[in-house]
């Protein structure tokens, strides 16, 4: 398997190509590159992690798999303009958020000092304000969107207690999903649809990368070659 920097560079390259494809309305390129994103990021995580994989790595790999399902379903939905496919894609990301929560919770519980409580308050207030603002426009989607908002805000709270990479990644993930929701259900975003997709995907790809890099940092496995001993604390 290629070394971790190569795989991370490949992910970054495909991400840029994908976002630029949205900017210039190259829909075929955008459609072809989107399913490559999460497999490349998962390959980076596999290559940068010691064997046997920790529980956190295994669960995060599952989260990336469900993120891939969400990516594919939302791309098909974009082409077919199907509400059921949209909800199925959001369902894939909902499972991914739950898996991230499962992966990070033990790390946070074992940390000292504990995570500052204001992170929880910020996410709770943001999630409540967003649903309150969008509520009149959501209609039948109110309950599923509220459930997803609760899940991703909980993920943000938990991720903020792992390290700076996961904390920032989770916050950017929330921003990405906010742009997706506002573009889908409201008229707040007045930019062209292709630029909305570019904004959503640029923040999404950055968020996932930061979270995965944070996982690598958390297990002290940065660029470690297979078979080498993990770093030890001084």
Question: Which residue has better confidence, 100 or 232?
Answer: 100
113 pLDDT band, cuts 50/70/90, is: low
pLDDT digits (tens, 9 = 90+) for 61-93: 999 999 999 999 998 988 887 888 989 999 999
Q: How many CB atoms lie within 10 A of CB 83?
A: 11
Quote the mean pLDDT of the chain: 88
- Distance between CA atoms of 117 and 109, rounded to whole angstroms? 13
115 pLDDT band, cuts 50/70/90, is: low
Q: What is the predicted pLDDT for the residue at 106?
A: 87
pTM (predicted TM-score) = 0.89
- Distance between CA atoms of 28 and 17, rounded to whole angstroms? 12
The crossing angle, in degrees rounded to 10, of helices 55-80 and 193-218 is 170
Contacts of 192 (CB under 8 A, 6+ apart): none
Percent of the chain at pLDDT exceeding 90: 66
Q: Are 4 and 50 in contact (CB under 8 A)?
A: no
Cite the DSSP H helix spans in the chain: 4-23, 27-33, 37-48, 55-80, 83-110, 118-138, 142-159, 164-185, 193-218
Give the number of C-alpha atoms closer than 13 A to the C-alpha of residue 39, restricted to the C-beta side.
Answer: 7
Is the pLDDT assigned to residue 119 strictly greater than 90? no
Give the lowest-confidence range in 11-15, 113-117, 133-137, 171-175.
113-117
Domains of the chain by residue range: 4-218
Is the pLDDT assigned to residue 223 strictly greater than 50? no
């Amino acid at each position: 398997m290629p070394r971790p920097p190569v795989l991370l560079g490949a992910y970054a390259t495909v991400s840029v190509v994908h976002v630029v494809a949205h900017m210039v309305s190259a829909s075929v390129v955008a459609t072809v590159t989107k399913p490559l994103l999460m497999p490349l990021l998962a390959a980076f995580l596999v290559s940068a992690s010691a064997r046997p994989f920790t529980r956190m790595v295994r669960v995060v790999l599952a989260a990336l798999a469900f993120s891939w399902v969400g990516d594919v379903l939302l791309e098909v939905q974009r082409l077919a303009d199907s509400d059921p496919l949209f909800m199925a894609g959001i369902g894939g990301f909902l499972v991914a958020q739950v898996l991230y929560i499962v992966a990070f919770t033990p790390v946070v519980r074992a940390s000292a000092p504990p995570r500052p409580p204001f992170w929880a308050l910020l996410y709770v207030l943001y999630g409540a304000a967003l649903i309150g603002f969008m509520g009149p426009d959501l209609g039948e989607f109110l309950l599923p969107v509220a459930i997803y908002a609760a899940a991703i805000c909980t993920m943000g709270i938990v991720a903020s207690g792992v390290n700076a990479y996961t904390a920032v990644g989770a916050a950017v993930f929330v921003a990405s999903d906010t742009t997706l929701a506002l573009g889908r259900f409201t008229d707040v975003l007045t930019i062209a649809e292709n630029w909305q997709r570019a904004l959503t995907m640029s923040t999404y790809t950055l968020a996932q990368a930061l979270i995965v890099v944070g996982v690598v940092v958390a297990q002290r496995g940065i660029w470690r070659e297979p078979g080498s001993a993990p770093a030890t604390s001084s």
